[in-house]
Structure 1
Amino acid sequence: MRFTVRRRAGAIVWDVARPARPGRLPGVGMTGFRDHGTGAAGPQVIPHPAVTLALDFGAGPLVVADAVGRERSGSLVAGLGFGPGPLWVRGAHFEAVQVRLSPLVAPALLGISPGELDGAVVSLDGLWGREAARARERLATVAAWPDRFALVGALLADRRRTRWSVDPEVARAWHRIVAGGGRVRVDGLAAEVGWSRKRLWTRFRAQIGLPPKQAAKLVRFDRAAHRLAAGGPAARVAADTGYADQAHLHRDVMTFTGLTPATMAGEPWLAVDDLAWPTTGPTHLSR
């Protein structure tokens, strides 16, 4: 599938590839991207509730830039919500496999807790060392996307470490947040898992990467963002996704993106996101 968006400065042209069937690892989803190097500025990244692994292997580097111009290139890992401030994807002629990981499985597969990432974007070389370079080299020798997806799946399966685990109480709270679309009360979650609010906040923040209330806010925002991108009226989207009113939705969208709901709805990232991660499935991974 080819995604094209035209701007005054040129056009972004990406090929998007999806696996024919889900992989064998629970809580893991993949999509492939190829940039055709038109030179246009890349899209702003819209936050979503998953840990992101981007394995870069193309002719040109994948580059992520923040609001003050700092850039990180090559293979990357980003925690939930991508940290403070907006991010943009740049680069030309890059190819990459994007992996979305449930925060419940990310520690065992990446070797780092989402809490340690603190939402930041970090180089995979710093986490995996030489193994990151070997992954890039192996992906560059494989021509077909199905084979690339299989290679990444095998790489992650080989990396799985049982010593990295999430407390059952934290996992239960995360499942409740996802199942409820972010419409949960933290006090209720703490009582449900048998912990104090403070203990839940501390353990959840350390293991998931966000406090429970912020995680619920991100899940709710994610659902609203895709509804807005599909053309839903802001007032109806706000009511259907658990916001107090349209002004409440507006504040959350501004907090996560720095954009108004109307502007965000037209962002290329959301259009390609729905192409890469179809709305027929979950917009985030609960396991």
Structure 2
Amino acid sequence: MYSEQAVRGAVRWASVSSGAGPVRVLPDGCLDLLWSSRAGLLVAGPDRTAHLSRSAPGERWIGLRLPPGVGPAVLGVPAEELRDQRVPLADLWGRAAGDLAERVEAATARPGWSAGGATVLQEVARARLRAAGGPDPLGAHVAARLATGATVAATAAEVGLGVRALHRRSRLLFGYGPKTLARILRMRRALDLARGGAPLAEVAARTGYADQAHLTRDVRELAGVPPTRLLAPPAG
């Protein structure tokens, strides 16, 4: 079971594991604040390639997915320090993480556990974001431009930075440079088009790949499997 809901400035999601096998989580440039009924509070850093998430049967998960560039302001650490990692929130917040864990545990012990737990995470994230003065506006601007297919050079010029300076700022905001973020966002744009029914050759042309073979190679490198595998209906 998996469900998600877009809310102001984030995406709330919840799942209950069947324990059938690992779940392939594709990179998206985001950081997630997580709660697991088995592992407690965690942070999922920005991934460069797909992460295979393994859960016990019946394990419950709640997540708050923070848009690209927002996570560092909420969590209080540069995104590159969390790249390709899953770390206990207590490693970052200390005692404050313990207080939050108690609130989430109380919320998830009641009916409507997923909504209650997600609301607690969202309230804390909003409060920390306000205390930090909000996210760096560069993050949203750069991510939005790259998501439309703009080049790194054009994006750097638009925000008034050199390419090297944009690379440094991007590592702090997204966990990796703008070229990597652009590849990830292009892959996700391509998969969205393919899920809408567009043939892969057309998808490749519309999203800036040289051809379908280029699209397949790029998806395989980032996701670990070719697009046909990702687009296949679930077994059973």
- Same topology, TM > 0.5: yes
Which of the pair is proportionally richer in helix?
Answer: 2
* Counterpart in the other structure of 2:11: 29
Cα distance in 1 for partners of 2:200, 2:160 equals 37
Q: 2:146 aligns with which of 177, 180, 183?
A: 177
Tell me, yes or no, if the aligned pair for 1:229 and 1:266 is still in contact at 8 Å: no
TM-score, length-scaled by structure 1: 0.70
SS of residue paired to 1:103:
coil
Shift of 1:86: 4.1
Cα deviation code 1:97-144 (max 9, x no counterpart): 111101332122112221222232222221222333333332232221
* Counterpart in the other structure of 1:257: 223
* Counterpart in the other structure of 1:135: 100
Cα distance in 2 for partners of 1:185, 1:40 equals 41
Shift of 1:74: 3.9
* Counterpart in the other structure of 1:46: 26
1:126 equivalent to 2:91? Answer yes
Tell me, yes or no, if the aligned pair for 1:111 and 1:164 is still in contact at 8 Å: no
**1:258 maps to amino acid:** G
1:153 equivalent to 2:122? Answer yes
Cα deviation code 1:246-269 (max 9, x no counterpart): 01101111111221221122376x
Residues 230 and 42 of structure 1: CA distance in aligned 2, closer, same or farther (over 3 Å):
farther
Superposition pairs for residues 87-98 of structure 1, below 5 Å? 87-98=52-63
Tell me, yes or no, if the aligned pair for 2:26 and 2:49 is still in contact at 8 Å: no
Superposition pairs for residues 258-277 of structure 1, below 5 Å? 258-266=224-232
Shift of 1:170: 4.8
Shift of 1:163: 5.9
Shift of 1:18: 4.3
RMSD: 2.6
* Counterpart in the other structure of 2:132: 162
**1:76 maps to amino acid:** L
Superposition pairs for residues 92-111 of structure 1, below 5 Å? 92-111=57-76
% identical aligned pairs: 32
**1:50 maps to amino acid:** C
1:196 equivalent to 2:198? Answer no
Shift of 1:221: 0.6
Gaps of 5+ in 1: 1-13, 62-72, 272-287
* Counterpart in the other structure of 2:208: 242
Gaps of 5+ in 2: none
Residues 226 and 89 of structure 1: CA distance in aligned 2, closer, same or farther (over 3 Å):
farther
TM-score, length-scaled by structure 2: 0.84
SS of residue paired to 1:75:
strand
Cα distance in 1 for partners of 2:119, 2:139 equals 30
